[in-house]
Amino acid sequence: MTPSPQDTLAAGLPTYDDVAAAAARIGGAAFRTPVLTSRTADERTGGTLFFKAENFQRAGAFKFRGAYNAIARLSDDAKRRGVVAFSSGNHAQAIAYAGQLQDVPTVIIMPKDAPAMKVAATRGYGGEVVAYDRYTEDREAIGRRLSQERGLTLIPPYDHEDVIAGQGTATKELIEEAGPLDMLLVCVGGGGLLAGSALAAKALSPDCRIYGVEPEAGNDAQQSFRSGSIVRIPVPVTIADGAQTTYVGGKTFPIIQALVDDMLTVSDQQLVDTMRFFVERMKIVVEPTGCLAAAAALNGIVPCRGKRVGIIISGGNVDPKALAGFLAG
Ligand SMILES: *Cc1c(COP(=O)(O)O)cnc(C)c1O
């Protein structure tokens, strides 16, 4: 047997076996989201597109998968003490909800000026919100202090073995349902979703080419991928707030380097056009970051003609007023 690229990955990094184990662990809790198709999208690209609709996942994004898996893997003692996360975005809500479903207390460190809707959603899922001043306080230091004082386990949004494995379960479901793919397009922030997706795709559809997609203004993952070491950039100005990370993770990057074929970028205008496409043609609400992968296909950034293409729609959490603004603009 020839060794697969996965066999060459270093110890301590997740493998496809971890994705499969995560799928069994989260099966009763995470939704098996639908795989959507669109004749218009197929006609426009010349390919056959399969959209994995994680905008319908619990708490509105794929992040629930990794959060639930990471919490489920804790010891009973650690579960009793609880977990802490810092995020103003989808990871916060995912941790709070996944904790509530497993009777694990959660503390979410959020900026004082986080959108009221997000704070309310996090509290609604049972999370204890600790507010900090993002201009004068260091959220990581607060997280460390809380984890020491209260024995909480810190669960990061992407650079964690169990988080990566959990995120990979969306692509596992996609390929099980759609069949083998020629190509898979996945958005990239810190790279947890892409790394997990790549593990699943290479195992279940070995000839599938895998592409990460980033906002043009924040192409740190593309720079890292092409230079071979992690590149850090200033906070990018883009409407894709879930991909405003300034560098990929130390655990996600080696997996991406080993398994991904290339990194692509799309503009904010292409994200807006894609949001409109989703509303008009497919009748679904997708947040800007969730449009990255589809935007690469619909704008011909990567040719899809004659190909079976998997596209991860990563989330649907967009403020209705902001959505209206994007669609009107
Ligand atoms: C977190 C997030 C991303 C980026 O995921 P990473 O694992 O950090 O690369 C993309 N889209 C949405 C909707 C997210 O919440």
The predicted pLDDT at position 2 comes to: 45
Instruction: Please tell me if the CB atom of residue 310 comes closer than 6 angstroms to any atom of ligand 1.
Output: no
Q: What is the pTM assigned to this prediction?
A: 0.95
For residue 161, is pLDDT > 50? yes
Helices (H), the chain: 16-26, 39-45, 63-72, 76-81, 90-101, 116-124, 139-150, 161-167, 169-178, 192-204, 220-227, 252-259, 268-282, 292-298, 320-328
- Tell me the pLDDT tens digit for each residue of 29-38: 999 999 999 9
Nearest residue (CA) to ligand 1, atom 2: 242
Question: What's the first-to-final CA gap in the chain, in angstroms?
Answer: 55
In short, whether 191's Cβ falls inside 6 Å of ligand 1 is yes
Instruction: Quick: pLDDT tens for 187-231.
Output: 999 999 999 999 999 999 999 999 999 999 999 999 999 999 999
Active-site residues, by number, are 63, 88, 214, 218, 220, 314
pLDDT tens across 50-83, in order? Answer: 999 999 999 999 999 999 999 999 999 999 999 9
Q: What is the pLDDT of residue 60?
A: 95
Q: Considering only CA atoms, which residue is closest to atom 4 of ligand 1?
A: 189
Task: Give the alpha-carbon dihedral of 251, 249, 264, 193, to 10 degrees.
Answer: 70
Radius of gyration of the chain (CA): 19
* HEC profile of 103-164: CCCEEEEEECCCCHHHHHHHHHCCCEEEEECCCCCCHHHHHHHHHHHHCCEECCCCCCHHHH
Q: What is the pLDDT of residues 123-157, one digit of tens each?
A: 999 999 999 988 888 888 898 899 999 999 999 99
What amino acid occupies position 148?
A: Q
- Residue 57 and residue 33 in contact, taking contact as beta carbons nearer than 8 Å: yes
Q: Is the pLDDT of residue 6 over 70?
A: no
Q: How far is the CA of 92 from the centre of ligand 1 (A)?
A: 12
Which of 90, 118, 275 to probe ligand 1 with, by most ligand atoms within 8 A of CB? 90
Atom of ligand 1 lying closest to residue 243 CA:
4
Alpha-carbon gap, residue 198 to 89, rounded angstroms: 23
* For ligand 1, atom 10: residue with the closest CA: 242
Ligand 1 centroid, distance to 3 Cα (angstroms): 30
More reliable by pLDDT, 142 or 310 = 310
Question: How high is the pLDDT of residue 237?
Answer: 92
Ligand 1 pocket check for 214: Cβ under 6 Å: no
Atom of ligand 1 nearest to the CA of 189: 9
